[in-house]
């Protein structure tokens, strides 16, 4: 019963873990692809991104502090949507979490429907800009998108603080 049992158990463990490991590496590859697309698009527009993040294989964001530009990329189907924001005209930045409460047999629970970074401009005629970080209509599970949105809020607010005129 010795080694054969260990080999069988080890094989079963590998069989169970394989989909999770493969899924993780696929997600990492998708995020690397988004970062490459973000940097290529930004470079084509004359930007040199010093900081960037990608998540869910569908979103990417980066900043060029030298030119004062924020660059955001969102994959929608096969197309890429780009958003460039000149930070010189930004008044404020905040994280917006859209949620609803649902009743459950044990009480109630909060369901997050979306997380966005909302940028407001000093020129009120420009309105505001909403950069989506998570939508439950596209992705069923929420990960670290809120923390990532808060990270970028801090990056933008820090940039604004340093470059206050």
Q: Where are the domains of the chain?
A: 2-162
H or E segment at 112? Answer: strand 107-121
CA distance 152 to 51: 10
Residue 129 CB: number of other CB atoms within 10 A? 17
pLDDT of residue 93: 93
pLDDT of residue 20: 67
pLDDT of residue 29: 64
CA distance 134 to 123: 27
Residue 44 CB: number of other CB atoms within 10 A? 8
pLDDT of residue 23: 62
pLDDT of residue 150: 95
pLDDT of residue 119: 94
CA distance 74 to 58: 6
pTM, full prediction: 0.80
pLDDT of residue 26: 65
CA distance 50 to 159: 13
Give the tokens for residue 129: 């800009």
Q: In a structure prediction context, what are the per-residue pLDDT tens digits for the chain, which is 165 residues long?
A: 678 887 887 777 777 867 766 665 566 667 778 888 888 888 899 898 988 999 988 899 999 998 999 999 998 877 888 989 999 889 999 999 998 888 888 888 888 889 999 999 988 887 889 999 998 888 888 888 999 999 999 999 999 988 875
């Amino acid at each position: 019963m010795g080694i054969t049992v260990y080999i069988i158990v080890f094989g079963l463990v590998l069989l169970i873990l394989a989909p999770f490991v493969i899924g993780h590496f696929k997600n990492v590859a998708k995020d690397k692809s988004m970062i490459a697309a973000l940097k290529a698009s930004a470079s084509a527009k004359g930007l040199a991104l010093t900081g960037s993040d990608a998540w869910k294989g569908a979103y990417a964001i980066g900043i060029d502090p030298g030119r004062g530009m924020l660059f955001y990329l969102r994959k929608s189907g096969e197309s890429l949507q780009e958003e460039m924001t000149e930070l010189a005209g930004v008044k404020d930045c905040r994280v917006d979490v859209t949620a609803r409460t649902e009743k459950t047999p044990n009480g109630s629970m909060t369901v997050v429907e979306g997380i966005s970074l909302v940028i407001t401009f000093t020129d009120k005629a420009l309105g505001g800009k909403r950069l989506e970080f998570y939508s439950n209509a596209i992705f069923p599970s929420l990960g670290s998108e809120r923390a990532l949105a808060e990270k970028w809020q801090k990056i933008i607010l820090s940039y604004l603080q340093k470059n206050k005129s």
